[in-house]
Amino acid sequence: MVQEFKSSRVQEKIINIKRYMTFGKLNYILLIAGFLIVVIGFVLMAGSGTTEEAFNPEIFGTLRTGVAPMVSLFGFIVIIAAILVRKKKQ
């Protein structure tokens, strides 16, 4: 009897906490996915640069100047979508 009463009070507290949370589970998953996509974009942009001794033409390659910024932009769009998605009402 005491155990049932205690568990029902705990369940009520969990429901109240979930009700007042700003983001739902989907929002957090999208935020993490967007953050990882942005990090991947920045990693694609990284690399060795040009030194005084040698010119590295790879710094002007399509991957660094075209693909990587688009990947990062897509990640930022996913983050914005994660913020704007409403959580489901229970």
77 falls within a domain:
yes
Q: How far apart are CA 39 and CA 51, in angstroms?
A: 25
**Residue 11 contacts residue 37 (beta carbons within 8 Å):** no
Per-residue pLDDT tens over the stretch 20-69: 777 888 999 999 999 999 999 999 999 777 777 888 788 888 889 899 99
8 falls within a domain:
no
Range of the domain at 55: 23-90
The identity of residue 48, as a single letter, is S
76 falls within a domain:
yes
Number of domains in the chain: 1
1 falls within a domain:
no
Burial class (CB in 10 A: 0-12, 13-18, 19+), 74: middle
Per-residue pLDDT tens over the stretch 5-33: 557 777 777 676 666 777 888 999 999 99
pTM of the full structure: 0.73
Q: How far apart are CA 53 and CA 31, in angstroms?
A: 43
